[in-house]
Structure 1
Amino acid sequence: MMLAKGTTVAVADGEKLNLFRNAGDEAGMQLEVLPRRTIENSAGTSGGHQSSSGNPDHGQADEDGFSAGIVDYLNQQALSGAIDGLVIIAAPRALGEMRKHYHKALTAQLKGEIAKDLTGHSMTEVESAIASA
């Protein structure tokens, strides 16, 4: 996948978000790290994983809430025009939860998705995953 200059790359899982921007061009991707953002755990998850005494998986509910919070942030960025192209790389479970919350303005900016957990990986590995997608 080739990225235009200025494309934002969000690398996420259910606990972390790393943001990058392509400072290079389509011929030569050069990701730069963007400042860390505080993501609010969104209570408005899809409800696919309810915690209860019969199903006490609070960790999964927290991860789903964090994933929804990431999309809340990205939706705001898309609506304000702060994003000019977006690629989302996320752990498969997190990506599935995130897709449920995309606003149409975010979808319009979405250039690609990669279902892979790369949050703990180097920028070189992230660039490699994008290049081979």
Structure 2
Amino acid sequence: MTTFFYRIRSDDPRPGDRPQGKKRKEFPWKKPIILALAGELAMPNTVLNRHTWVVVADGEKALFLRNENSATHAQLSTIHQMHQQNPATREQGSDKPGRFSDGVGAHRSAMDDTDWHEISKRRFAKEIADELYVHAHKRKFERLVLVAPPTILGELRQELHKEVLDKIVSEIPKTLTNHSMSDIQAIVEES
């Protein structure tokens, strides 16, 4: 359901203020404003034309996809892949957690371990953002659909350049890097 509102100036006579028998004058500056309330309007399905890229990423792998057919008969194909070896934190760090003194006395506290796995995921999100900026600057795509887990999607949003952010038409917070191309295409088209 769409609700229409009109802009009304303060000098617009109200129904009780105008003389009886006269019709209300229509003002040309009254333009309808469409107000979409949450949940009332369904987003249209994502149109995958030839100038739309779909980036499917997680913390270790990124797939850059493009439609090779028309928008009505979409067929995604891989145009670029990025991989990162990201072993578990226990395999990346070798030190025991650090300790520090709380002040006078023998009381000491342990510090948290550095989560090298998460740091590596953040770095990979920055690499994806840099790669997207290079391609956007070369005008290789006009529209962009991002598919990534919510944490990676948040990291990507922080790292993306304004030129890339302006081209995003849809974001899908799901992990789809290990799905088949047809599954990815179906999920992107229905979102």
Q: TM-score, normalised by structure 1?
A: 0.82
C-alpha distance in 1, partners of 2:156/2:130? 9
- Distance in 1 (alpha carbons) for counterparts of 2:69 and 2:126: 30
Partner of 1:18: 63
Matched, 1:57 2:118: no
1:30 equivalent among 75, 94, 99: 75
Structure 2: runs of 5+ lacking an equivalent: 1-45, 85-96, 99-111
What does residue 49 of structure 1 align with?
none
User: Which letter does structure 2 place at the counterpart of 1:10?
Assistant: V
2:35 maps to none
Match status 1:101 vs 2:146:
no
TM-score of the superposed pair, with normalisation by structure 2: 0.59
In 2, the alpha carbon distance for the partners of 1:5 and 1:78 equals 15
- Write the mapping of 1:63-74 to structure 2, written as runs, cut at 5 A: 63-74=121-132
Q: Secondary structure at the match of 2:136?
A: helix
Q: More strand per residue: 1 or 2?
A: 2
Does the Cα contact within 8 Å between 2:61 and 2:83 map onto a contact in 1?
Answer: no
Letter in 2 for 1:12: A
> C-alpha displacement at 1:84, in angstroms?
2.3
Q: Distance in 2 between matches of 1:112 and 1:4?
A: 14
Q: Which residue is equivalent to 1:86? A: 144
Structure ranking higher in helix proportion: 1
2:184 aligns to what SS in structure 1?
helix
Question: 1:79, 1:105 within 8 Å by CA — same for their partners in 2?
Answer: yes
1:34-71 deviations in whole A, cap 9, x for unaligned?
Answer: 133467xxxxxxxxxxxx85242110110111011101
Per-residue CA deviation, residues 82-129 of structure 1 (Å, 9 max, x unaligned), is 222211111111111100011111012212111100000100110011
Q: Which amino acid aligns with 1:65?
A: R
Question: Which AA in structure 1 matches 2:156?
Answer: M
- C-alpha separation between the residues in 2 aligned to 1:27 and 1:74? 26
Q: What is the deviation of 1:73?
A: 0.7
State the identity as a percent. 31
Give the ranges of 4+ consecutive aligned residues of structure 1 lying more than 4 Å apart after TM superposition. none
CA contact (8 A) 2:68 2:75 kept: yes
In the aligned structure 1, how far is the partner of 2:83 from the partner of 2:76?
21
Between 1 and 2, higher relative CO (CA 8 Å, sep ≥ 6) is seen in 1
Rounded to whole Å, the distance in 1 between the matches of 2:160 and 2:114 is: 27
Output the amino acid matched with 1:77. H
1:15 Cα deviation after fit: 0.6
